[in-house]
Amino acid sequence: MADTPWLTIVGIGEDGAAGLSASAKAALADADVVSGATRHLALLPRLTGEVVPWPVPFDAGIPGLLGHRGRKTVMLVSGDPFWFGAGTSITRHLDAFEWIAHPVPSTFALAAARLGWPLDDTACLGLHAAPLARLRRHIAPTRHALVLVRDGEAVAALARYLTDLGFGGSRLHILEALGGPRERVREMTAAGRAFGDIAHPVAVGIAFAGTGAVLPQASGLPDAWFEHDGQITKRPIRALTLSALAPKPGETLWDIGAGSGSIGIEWLLAHPSTQATAFEADPVRAARIQGNAAALGADRLRIVEGRALDVLEGQAEPDAIFIGGGLSDALLERLWSERGSGTRLVANAVTLESEALLTRWHGMKGGTLLRIDLSEAVPLGTRRGWRASYPVMHWSVML
């Protein structure tokens, strides 16, 4: 195969050809094939190459694009292809020498320029096809966010979402068709009356304001953030457990016997690149885990229903494993026999039988074994006294 690019990825803004570099214009003039969304194609003057509108959904167009290998091909995308853009969806299928890109300013850059907000201190999210709850961890008074949304209905849904959380006073800057002749910037509050004529493409700048609950950034969220039936790793133990699991960017967790899903969810909240799978045999609890994950913006959590020993096979290899339920010799033997060295394992036990099991395995495999006794001050008549929780045995070890 030739060592020169056959594909040129051209970022295009609402000003069409006027905003393109000389190199991008030359690639379009010389192209055998030009592919892009109908809206992007309409922004350009008449093209000499074959014009191929990009289909919906986006992934449906990738095989056709790759089928043009060897022909001079231009793919049109919005703004900067590699800043919440379509670039990586294509280049992951290509070798480095097969493509070249010509970006233009992203919608985020244009929005920051209109509002005077520093991009390095503003949350930027693409919510075209992602749940609004991805915004949850960023919502705090005086903070700012820039989000890309699908249309006017999505703006209205965003306003309702913020209002329902107690942040109806947030200022929403509605930024339509930035950089082009149709550009329009308007303001509203989340709790105010929404505009009924919002045109695509649209971004929203959010200046958060309100008295709603703010999601803490430390490990060990208050238990009240999770729906549960009592089967939850309580806050102090969860903080210690997450510290031992030590999530790192790009890592994957197995949360076995997930209960409420609190460990897997907080693992995902630690960094946007982390992954997690929750194994839960009880279908009611599995549904509750899904609801907790959705509410806290941890929609990356995979939930596998079934007894762990029956459903572990074929799952993505973990960097860390937490056993919160279903602890047994058979489970530990399987994890030890099938996992590569370097996997971190953390297990918590409350019953005497589980404590005996962990004590024995600690003697065989080493690691750190802790016994955690917690008591909470509670009313005792007219005074106060200590109410003890069940002690927890906590084992952390490297497989």
Q: From residue 134, how far is each of 123, 124, 138, 139, 298 by CA, in Å?
A: 11, 11, 8, 10, 7
Every domain of the chain with CATH number 3.30.950.10 lies at 108-207
The Cα 313–Cα 300 span in angstroms is 20
CATH of 223-398, one of 3.10.129.10, 3.40.50.300, 3.30.70.100, 3.40.50.150: 3.40.50.150
For the record, the structure tokens of 192 come out as: 């105010």
Distance (Å, whole) CA 341 – CA 364: 16
Burial of 124 (0-12, 13-18, 19+ CB in 10 A): buried
Give the pair of three-digit tokens for residue 182. 């149709």
Q: Which CATH class, in words, describes the domain spanning 7-104?
A: alpha beta
Task: State residue 1's pLDDT score.
Answer: 44
Q: What is the mean pLDDT of each run of 10 residues along the chain (399 residues)?
A: 82 92 93 93 91 92 93 94 90 93 95 96 93 96 96 95 97 95 95 89 96 94 93 91 96 95 96 96 95 95 93 91 93 88 93 95 95 93 92 94
What pLDDT sits at residue 84? 86
pLDDT for the residue numbered 259: 92
pLDDT at 224: 94
Q: What is the 3-state secondary structure (H, E, C) of 155-223?
A: HHHHHHHHHHCCCCCCEEEEEECCCCCCCEEEEEECCCCCCCCCCCCEEEEEECCCCCCCCCCCCCCCH
For residue 146, the model assigns a pLDDT of 98
- Which amino acid appears at position 15 of this protein? D
At 64 the pLDDT is 93
For the chain, residues classed under CATH 3.40.50.150 are 223-398
- The answer to whether domain 108-207 has CATH 3.30.950.10 is yes
Closest Cα partner for 258 from 304, 310, 217, 315?
304
Give the pLDDT of residue 4.
84
Q: What residues have CB less than 8 Å from 290, skipping those under 6 apart?
A: 261, 301, 303
Q: What is the pTM of this model?
A: 0.89
